[in-house]
C-alpha cells in the first residue's frame, strides 16, 4: 500500500519512520503539486509499505533531522494495518 502525507521540506521538517513492526517501508521521491509551483511550495511525501504480518503498527513523526530526539515532533501519525 502507499501512504501519502503533506510535507514542505523547505521548512526543515520531514516525515521520519519511527517504528515499524513486520513491514518493509520505502520512501518515495518528494512530489510538488505541479511543475509550475513557486520555490518553497509544499507537496507530498509518499511511502510504499509492504506488510509482512497483521496487525502491523507503523509510526511516523514530522521533525527536523538536526534537532534532539527529546524535542517533541510537530506531528505524529500512527497507522495500524489489520
Per-residue pLDDT tens, the chain, 82 aa: give them.
Answer: 999 999 988 889 999 998 777 888 888 888 777 666 677 778 889 999 998 888 889 999 999 999 998 999 999 999 998 8
What residues make up the domain containing 73? Answer: 2-81
Three cell numbers, residue 11: 521548512
Number of domain units in the chain: 1
Q: Where are the beta strands (DSSP E) in 1-82?
A: 2-7, 13-20, 23-27, 43-51, 56-64, 75-81
Q: What is the CATH classification number for the domain harbouring 17? A: 2.60.40.2020
* pTM exceeds 0.85: no
Amino acid at each position: 500500500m502507499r501512504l501519502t502525507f503533506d510535507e514542505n521540506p523547505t521548512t526543515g521538517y520531514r516525515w521520519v519512520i519511527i517504528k515499524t513492526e513486520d513491514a518493509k517501508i520505502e520512501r518515495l521521491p518528494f512530489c510538488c503539486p505541479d511543475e509550475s509551483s513557486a520555490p518553497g511550495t509544499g507537496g507530498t511525501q509518499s511511502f510504499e509499505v509492504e506488510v509482512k504480518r497483521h496487525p502491523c503498527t507503523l509510526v511516523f513523526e514530522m521533525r527536523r533531522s538536526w534537532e534532539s530526539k527529546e524535542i517533541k515532533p510537530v506531528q505524529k501519525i500512527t497507522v495500524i494495518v489489520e
